[in-house]
Chain A
């Protein structure tokens, strides 16, 4: 069965400094991996996804993530945080061949950006 562990429940950074949100996954087969963002009182928006092509994936708003199979990680990064990045971030794994549940969510990481 697949699972996702987001290693930090809360990350706080200063505006203009780098962002690192950590995610480790477990999957029996080749996974697809996603990062979603949820702004306060909003739905979930896809930031980026890994689909077994390039291991470095670029997403919206300057975010990117690197798939590292040997470390079973898919950490989300951004070179310079902006106030508008403050939100909840979810790492998600999809595993085609295990049951019929396509998306398994991590518990989320709340990103705070300090002016």
Chain B
């Protein structure tokens, strides 16, 4: 089954404790991205990757890191989480960027930083 898999689905952590949210897709998509969803703000892009070893900042990259060592994986790293990073996070992948391309989303990771 074609899918984007995120782990964990739920995570509660303390301020400053490094964490990683994994994302994996089995569709051989080139483009992957991370979004955070906050009430009243919709989805905002954190980072994206056009292909292996190619990453760039989205609209809200502060406090986050990513890597793209393999085509299928795109982990999101919070080196020193803070309470304002409490949010719902989505990973997405697309066959390619551009017009007519739809994104496939993971189920989401609900992160709470206390």
Residues of A within 8 A of B (CB): 9, 30-32, 34, 36, 42-46, 49, 51-52, 90, 94-96, 100-103, 105-108
Contact = CB atoms under 8 A, between A and B. Distances in A.
Interface string B78-108: 0000000000001010100111111101111
Contacts of B108: 42-43
Nearest to A6: B42
A32 B56 contact: no
12 contacts: A34-B102, A42-B108, A43-B90, A49-B100, A96-B98, A96-B99, A100-B48, A102-B98, A102-B103, A103-B45, A103-B92, A105-B42
Contacts of A108: 42
B51 to A, nearest CB: 11
A46 B99 contact: no
A34 B105 CA distance: 14
A86 B31 CA distance: 31
B24 to A, nearest CB: 14
Contact of B101 (A32, A43, A52, A101): A32
B43 interface: yes
B99 A51 contact: yes
Contact of B100 (A9, A32, A42, A105): A32
Contact of B97 (A30, A36, A52, A100): A100
Interface in B27-53: 31, 33, 35, 40-45, 48, 50
Contacts of B33: 103
A100 B99 CA distance: 11
Contacts of A46: 102
B48 A101 contact: yes
B38 to A, nearest CB: 10
Contacts of A43: 90, 105-108
Contacts of A90: 42-43
A23 to B, nearest CB: 12
